[in-house]
Amino acid sequence: MHIVDGALSNPVVIAGAVAAVGGIALGLRSLTLERIPAAGVLSASFFVASLIHVPIGPSSVHLILNGLAGLLLGCAAFPALFVGLLLQTVFFGFGGLTVLGVNTVNIALPAVLAWMVFGRLIGRGSPVQGAIWGGVGGAFAIAATTGMVAVSLAMSGDEFLPAAKLVFFAHVPVMAIEAVLTGFAILLARKVKPELFVKGLPA
């Protein structure tokens, strides 16, 4: 989901950068120095998780798991996912420089929204119930990310509209996979470390 330089119009790029700065500032406010190790290590784990390729039919997809990042990190997911994207861009050549803001917002905003809507639900009831809400949250985040990528392309020019629509529908299987994986990851975390979702991240 990395948009490249040169594809988007200037207003979209600038709006994305402004929104990203706002989101990162908001996320940093919730990040006391005591929580930085947890956020940093989780940010690194999501970087590593994006290296996992999951087979789907004859092809494979790589994981994004931004929903899971949001569910675990809350507002801090914004700066954490930005850091991951920055490192991917600079050292791996993924995405682009001027579109870093747009890419950050497209991935991190759905993560934070998933946390706001489903964050409380995953800690409640039995682990399976929590896992199901986690799965819903994971699917929601990917759907929102794909939707936002499509919208940022469509706002830059009508010529991208057909591609944007096709990309959205092509990502439906990815949403299903992310949902299942997020659900099982939450299930395991609920069973192995139940206190994690009761009091949130170690402060």
Of 23, 5, 1, 2, whose CA–CA distance to 13 is shortest? 5
How far is 189 from 61, CA to CA, in rounded Å?
23
Structure tokens, 147: 């939707």
- Say whether 126 sits in a helix, a strand or coil: coil
Single residue of 15, 19, 94, 154 touching other proteins by CB under 8 A: 94
Single residue of 67, 96, 119, 123 touching other proteins by CB under 8 A: 96
Q: Does 136 bind other proteins (CB under 8 A)?
A: no
CA 105 remoteness from chain centre: 9
Size, binding site for other proteins by CB under 8 A? 85
* Least distance to other proteins, CB of residue 117, Å: 20
Subset of 162-191 contacting other proteins (CB under 8 A): 162-164, 166-167, 170, 177, 180-189
Scanning 95-103, 105-113, 116-124 for contacts with other proteins by CB under 8 A, the matching segment is 95-103
CB 194, CB 130: distance < 8 Å: no
Subset of 26-45 contacting other proteins (CB under 8 A): 28, 31, 33-34, 36-45
